[in-house]
Structure formats: C-alpha cells, structure tokens
Amino acid sequence: MLETDPAGVNIGSAEFFDRARARLRFEIPPGLSDASIIPLSGDPGNDRMLQIIAQERPIRPAAVLIPVVEHTEPTVLLTQRAAHLNDHAGQISFPGGKIDATDASPLDAALREAEEEIGLGREFIDPVGYLDLYATGFGFRILPTLARIKPGFTLRINATEVDDAFEVPLAFLMNPVNHQLHAKEFRGIERSYYAMPFAERYIWGATAGILRVLYERIYLP
C-alpha cells in the first residue's frame, strides 16, 4: 500500500474501464462481517490498530459507491458530508453508508445510499465490481463498488446527510504525485493515512485510502 509508482497514469477512459472489468469481481469478502479476519493495509501500524479495534468494537459493515463519470476526461463524483452530522462531519466521502438488513447485497446498499444522499438514479449507474475491503479505526468494514456513471444525471442533494456534491478529475486522483502520505499516533503506534488535497477540498482518510487502493488495483501491473 505504501509503494508509489507512476505507471499508467495517463490511461484513457476506455482502457480504465476495460482494466477494471478484467480485475474486479462481485465476490463478497468474508471479512465484511467476520471480526476475526483483519483486512490488511500493508502498513504495520494500521494493521495493528485494526486488530485492536476488532477486539474492542463490533464491526460495522458498510458499502460505498465509487462513481466514475464517463466524460471525455473522466471524473470521480464525491460528496461533502453535512456539517451537523455526528460522525465525520464535513468530510469528503463517497456516497454510501451502513449495509441494512433489507439490502440484498453491498452493491444494493451502495446504490440505495447514492440515491438517498444525492439523488443519483440507478439508470445512470453501471456497476463494475467490488474493490478490496477497507477497514477503519471506527470499526467500519467498507466494501467499495466501482461504477461507470453515464453523464446527463441531475442530482438532488439530501441536506440532512450531504452539504455538497462535486467532481474531481480521475487523472488527478490516480496520479501518485498527488498521494500525500501522513502519519498519526494511535495508542503509541504510528500509522499512516493518505491525503489528496484538490483546490479547496481536503480529501483524506478512508476516502483517500480507497482511492489509493483503486490506483493500485487498476493502474499498477
């Protein structure tokens, strides 16, 4: 996870989705709901933190949508969480949330949340596959779904959950030059996290980490 390699940064939209369809599947990893399975991050500090969290807190299965809009120059559709929320207020995120018992699958949860949060209709969404499971220090086990988004949609922002939605060029987010690696301490353990500042937006934490995983899965050989 900590390797930086500029390979493939300039691949086009068609090649990006071709690679994604060849490399991603809709297989649900057992670690999504099994606390004894720790998703490895490649950072010993992060991995140790996740082991501790799994012993202390119930895991919280969640799903997010990585919406890549198929413009001539593709973009990633992101949201800014509402400032009044109790968890991660004001942070940049993907559409998504916890997986409900009524959701048929993590994919169904991601599609439902995208519609509830920003009004992104399912008719514009072409799901491609699941990315690697991503665990956080808050006990979330996040299964991201990469999706190709057809342009022409109109968003309806749900102000109870989201303050804003905006697009960032995929080329910027997939360029490792823009992947800042920072560190913080957790109970005496140093752990790393990514940040990808873009204009006035500070993309960091799980969102930046998932984008880094997307880069590693699709852009590296």
Q: What distance in Å separates the CA atoms of residue 90 and residue 101, rounded to the nearest whole number? A: 27
**Residues 26 and 172: beta-carbon distance below 8 Å:** no
pLDDT of residue 4: 44
Question: Which pTM was predicted?
Answer: 0.93
pLDDT of residue 3: 42
Q: Check pLDDT > 90 for residue 42.
A: no
pLDDT of residue 88: 63
Q: What distance in Å separates the CA atoms of residue 99 and residue 65, rounded to the nearest whole number? A: 12
Question: 13-23 vs 205-218: helix axis angle to the nearest 10?
Answer: 90
Q: Give all strands (DSSP E) within 86-161, no chain letters.
A: 92-93, 96-98, 125-130, 134-135, 140-149
Q: What angle do CA 140, 141, 144 make, to 5 degrees?
A: 120
Structure tokens at 114: 């995208």
**Ramachandran region, residue 102 (left: φ > 0; alpha: ψ -120 to 50; beta: rest):** alpha
If you average pLDDT over residues 77-106, what whole number do you get?
A: 88
Could you give the domains of the chain?
13-170 (3.90.79.10)
Q: pLDDT digit string (tens) for 143-185?
A: 999 999 999 999 999 999 999 999 999 999 999 999 999 999 9
